[in-house]
């Protein structure tokens, strides 16, 4: 990539403060900026780097008022964090080429329907009656079962397994070794102390613009569908159990586990290693701090919860102060 500062400002809808002809050819963190690089500044604790950074340009918020001279050209935008995400997306899209490719060692069943300019890597398998939309990339060693439906502009990274009958929307990204549609963890106890497997006959529906991290698993339902609504972002090593519904634009960090038949609201945020019990409902805009354990319904929107069992964060901090006193 190579852009002038004024071109980047135009892409981002920002303004240039400094040299509009400055040439940028790479990205860098603000701590390690170098000539030719563009960085961004959004977190106040990194402000000192703004004055020390050797980068050619820095993306900053419109509200930023420097207390010292800034050697780099500044590109002012409404939201620097969102702007750099948009710029990275723009550059990646410019680099991405769409071309039809069939690995010589892949296998596509004759009844599968493959869209335009679909990439299929070596050792990938696409089952009977599967449908793959236009411009989707299916990398090496991916398994796509019978009757799977995958939308357009998706990216399916190496080692992903999609069980038969699953439904994937448009612009979905599935990272390496994610599993969509494994059986849920359902077993019935018998009188002799053994466990009888409960068959899962449903499927998983992944809606548009969802991203699921490496080694994460979304289990299919016993009946009906497990649903991940549009815009959700799921980190690595997460588990979404059978019959769960995850609301639109919810995000969950690594090692989060959602037990069966739970309904997660829209725009929820879950920190790392969060655990949510089964048959629970979480209201919209719920925030769960890392390692929170939820064992009951969250009925009020906008709550911030911590601890196990999870309680409102202010109550948690007051309780923690008492724990420390009790331990002395």
| pTM summary value | 0.85
Report, as an integer, the average pLDDT of 65-76.
92
The CATH topology of domain 101-255 is UDP N-Acetylglucosamine Acyltransferase; domain 1 (2.160.10)
Q: Comparing 162 with 33, which gets the higher pLDDT?
A: 162
Which band of pLDDT confidence, cut at 50, 70 and 90, is reported for residue 111?
A: very high
Q: How far apart are CA 154 and CA 148, in angstroms?
A: 14
Which band of pLDDT confidence, cut at 50, 70 and 90, is reported for residue 36?
A: very high
| Residue range(s) of every CATH 2.160.10.10 domain in the chain | 101-255
**pLDDT of 103 above 80:** yes
Which band of pLDDT confidence, cut at 50, 70 and 90, is reported for residue 97?
A: low
**pLDDT of 326 above 80:** no
Assess whether 200 carries a catalytic annotation: no
Q: Comparing 326 with 300, which gets the higher pLDDT?
A: 300
The CATH topology of domain 3-95 is 3.40.1390
| Residue range(s) of every CATH 3.40.1390.10 domain in the chain | 3-95
Mean pLDDT, all residues of the chain: 93
pLDDT in tens, 230-266: 999 999 999 999 999 999 999 999 999 999 999 999 9
pLDDT in tens, 148-172: 999 999 999 999 999 999 999 999 9
**pLDDT of 328 above 70:** no
Report, as an integer, the average pLDDT of 60-83.
92
Report, as an integer, the average pLDDT of 30-43.
90
Q: What is the pLDDT of residue 318?
A: 86
Q: What is the pLDDT of residue 278?
A: 94
Report, as an integer, the average pLDDT of 80-102.
82
% of the chain surpassing 90 pLDDT: 80
Which band of pLDDT confidence, cut at 50, 70 and 90, is reported for residue 95?
A: low
% of the chain surpassing 70 pLDDT: 98
Q: What is the pLDDT of residue 217?
A: 98
Which band of pLDDT confidence, cut at 50, 70 and 90, is reported for residue 104?
A: confident
Q: What is the pLDDT of residue 129?
A: 97
Report, as an integer, the average pLDDT of 24-38.
90
Residue from 175, 242, 267, 279 carrying the catalytic annotation: 242
């Amino acid at each position: 990539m190579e852009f002038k500062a004024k071109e980047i400002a135009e892409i981002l809808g920002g303004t240039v403060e400094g040299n509009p002809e400055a040439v940028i050819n790479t990205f860098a963190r603000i701590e390690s900026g170098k000539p030719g690089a563009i960085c961004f500044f959004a977190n106040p604790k990194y402000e000192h780097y703004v004055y020390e950074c050797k980068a050619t340009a820095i993306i900053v918020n419109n509200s930023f008022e420097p207390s010292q001279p800034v050697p780099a050209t500044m590109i002012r935008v409404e939201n620097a964090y969102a702007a750099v995400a948009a710029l990275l997306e723009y550059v990646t899209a410019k680099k991405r080429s769409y071309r039809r490719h069939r690995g010589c060692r892949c296998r596509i069943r004759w009844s599968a329907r493959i869209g335009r300019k679909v990439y299929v890597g070596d050792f990938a398998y696409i089952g009977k009656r599967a449908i793959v939309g236009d411009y989707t990339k299916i990398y090496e060693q991916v398994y796509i079962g019978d009757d799977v439906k995958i939308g357009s502009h998706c990216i399916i990274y190496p080692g992903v397994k999609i069980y038969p009958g699953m439904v994937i929307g448009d612009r979905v990204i599935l990272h390496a070794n994610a599993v969509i549609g494994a059986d849920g963890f359902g077993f019935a106890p018998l009188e002799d102390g053994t466990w009888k497997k409960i068959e899962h006959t449903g499927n998983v529906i992944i809606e548009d613009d969802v991203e699921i991290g490496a080694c994460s698993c979304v289990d299919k339902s016993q009946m009906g569908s497990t649903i991940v609504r549009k815009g959700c972002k799921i980190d690595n090593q997460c588990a979404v159990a059978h019959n769960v519904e995850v609301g639109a634009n919810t995000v969950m960090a690594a090692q989060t586990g959602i037990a069966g038949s739970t309904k997660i609201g829209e725009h929820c945020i879950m920190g790392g290693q969060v655990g949510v019990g089964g048959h629970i409902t979480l209201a919209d805009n719920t925030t769960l701090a890392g390692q929170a354990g939820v064992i009951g319904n969250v009925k009020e929107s906008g709550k911030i919860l911590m601890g196990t069992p999870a309680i409102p964060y202010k109550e948690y901090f007051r309780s923690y102060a008492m724990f420390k006193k009790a331990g002395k």
